[in-house]
Structure 1
Amino acid sequence: MKNISKAAIVTGASRGIGREIALRLASDGFAVAIGYASNQVQADAVVAEIIAKGGTAIAIKGNVADVDDVSKLFSSVQDAFGRLDAVVSNAGIMSLVPIKVDNAEKLDQMLRTNVRGTFLVLAKAAEVLGDGGRIVALSTSVIAKATPGYGPYIASKSAVESLVHVLANELRGRNITVNAVAPGPVATELFFNGKTEEQIMMLAKMPPMERLGQPLDIANAVSFLVGKDGGWVNSQVVRVNGGFA
């Protein structure tokens, strides 16, 4: 393994926004750990793409809602890279269901991955990162819209934003920033799943810029927050949404 000057973990990085964040951080000079839950082929493809471009990357399988898996993720990164400078908690799931008793199981699933998973990743990052460390969690701009069908998802991401603000204060004096990035509608598999073409077109037209965001739009914001120019941004929710909300 080549000499590592900075290293990052990106959870949920085998596809979508997480993949683009991993690629962008690799281009910024980070050695990147690709955290993934199940699809090894996609995760390995991200690693191969980074290595082909001269970067350094590894893929680590694990469930962010499992304490032992999260501990293994962080220890594996430290063993491989000898350091850790930034953690991006991106892994998440979304199901569009109304607030009805029959959908309690969907709520539980989203709370387990989106809230418990983020909690564990942020907690471990706080334990491991040293001076100058950066933590970023992914939220959503749909919180401001209160759109029907998004109740359980919004509940989970509202909790994520609260965790970010509290952790930033708990890390007072350690020179570690903790922020959230809240995308608007972004053209990913997660976004398209369960939506009609009409719904997709309507959402694309909602921002003043009249387009869906691209994963790179979100990755660029994360790059800023974990980069040298983002050091004075702390306990913030950066809504990267083209004016969606």
Structure 2
Amino acid sequence: MSVERRAIVTGGSRGIGRAIVERLAADGFGVVLTFRQNERAACEVAEGARARGHAVFVERHDQEDVTEISALFARAASCFRTTDDAFLDVLVINAGLMEHESIAEVTPESFDRVMAVNTRGPFFMLQHAAKRMREGGRIVLVSSICTELPSPGEAVCAASKAALEQFARVASRELGRRGVTVNSVSPGPTDTDLLRGATTEEEREAFARATALRRIGRPEDVAGVVSLLARPESGWLTGQNLRADGGLV
């Protein structure tokens, strides 16, 4: 299927990533979503979008393996039926790894794993994307509110996500002459399977009370912010980190 506006969303099979895929598809983008393990969930997202008339494609990609990035972009171009080198309008780097370990518990192996997925992989994805973005393209890196409000056990995760915000700031300077904007988004506590598996109901209620809007976020809330950044009207917004946290910070 040939589409005019094209997006890639990494980690698009569930939670916030799924909501971003569905929102961009509804906004008129053809979307390639990537997954690492849960192929069934990824296919469900794509099939649901296609049933609504949207062009959504599925590709397996392990963000930890930077040697596969070039092949991913080539497969995405094939999905969009284009041979152009610069074919992409929107890239959302959403895939990530959340591991809670106290500083005393972190091992060299667990440290390297989180950094490989959350920092190294996105950096080289960004590097490749610089060659693949069309003029006026949009790049969004999904960070986390833990970079500003870290909890015990989040030292490595917070550091790995903070790097994304700096990548966005520097890349916005390097790509700005082509009209490409680069921003990051920091979701606050968001009602996903990941959050529910890591917190109690009492903890989620406490998060809700701490926000200005007195609730935790929904994946669609974060997707709405990404949608805003993907629009032509956001062209003067670059090098920024947007907190999608309901006024938590």
Pick which of 140-149 and 117-126 moved more.
140-149
Pick which of 136-145 and 67-76 moved more.
67-76
Quote how far apart the aligned CAs of 1:200 are: 2.1
Quote how far apart the aligned CAs of 1:101 are: 5.2
Determine if contact 1:64/1:120 at 8 Å carries over to the other structure: no
Report the residue type matching 1:66 in the other structure: D
Quote how far apart the aligned CAs of 1:188 are: 0.8
Query: Is 2:151 the counterpart of 1:173?
Result: no
- Equivalent residue number for residue 52 of structure 1: 51
Report the residue type matching 2:162 in the other structure: S
Provide the TM-score with structure 1 as the length reference. Answer: 0.95
Please list, as runs of the form range in 1=range in 2, the aligned pairs for 1:4-83 lying within 5 A after superposition: 4-81=3-80, 82=82, 83=87
Out of 215, 219, 230, the residue aligned to residue 215 of structure 1 is 219
Q: 2:102 and 2:108 mapped to 1: Cα distance? A: 10
Superposition CA RMSD, Å: 1.3
- Equivalent residue number for residue 188 of structure 2: 184
Q: 1:199 and 1:117 mapped to 2: Cα distance? A: 31
Q: 2:113 and 2:79 mapped to 1: Cα distance? A: 32
Query: Is 2:223 the counterpart of 1:224?
Result: no
- Give SS of 2:205's match: helix
- Equivalent residue number for residue 137 of structure 2: 133
Give the share of equivalent positions with the same residue, in percent. 38
Determine if contact 1:77/1:84 at 8 Å carries over to the other structure: no
For residues 124-162 of structure 1, give each alpha carbon's deviation from its aligned partner in whole angstroms, at most 9, with x where no partner exists: 111211211110000111222232221111011111111
Out of 200, 206, 215, the residue aligned to residue 204 of structure 2 is 200
Pick which of 197-206 and 15-24 moved more.
197-206
Quote how far apart the aligned CAs of 1:107 are: 2.3
Query: Is 2:116 the counterpart of 1:112?
Result: yes
Q: 2:27 and 2:106 mapped to 1: Cα distance? A: 45
Q: 1:228 and 1:172 mapped to 2: Cα distance? A: 14
Q: 1:192 and 1:103 mapped to 2: Cα distance? A: 26
Q: 1:105 and 1:194 mapped to 2: Cα distance? A: 22
Distance 1:199 1:74, change over 3 A: same
Query: What count of residue pairs does the alignment treat as equivalent?
Result: 244
Q: 2:119 and 2:47 mapped to 1: Cα distance? A: 30
Report the residue type matching 1:62 in the other structure: H
Determine if contact 1:89/1:138 at 8 Å carries over to the other structure: yes
Q: 2:176 and 2:53 mapped to 1: Cα distance? A: 36
Pick which of 31-40 and 202-211 moved more.
202-211
- Equivalent residue number for residue 121 of structure 1: 125
Pick which of 211-220 and 58-67 moved more.
58-67
- Give SS of 1:32's match: strand
For residues 51-108 of structure 1, give each alpha carbon's deviation from its aligned partner in whole angstroms, at most 9, with x where no partner exists: 0000101100011121232212111111221232110000001011111254443322
Quote how far apart the aligned CAs of 1:195 are: 2.0
- Equivalent residue number for residue 158 of structure 1: 162
- Give SS of 1:213's match: coil
Report the residue type matching 1:112 in the other structure: A
Quote how far apart the aligned CAs of 1:189 are: 1.7
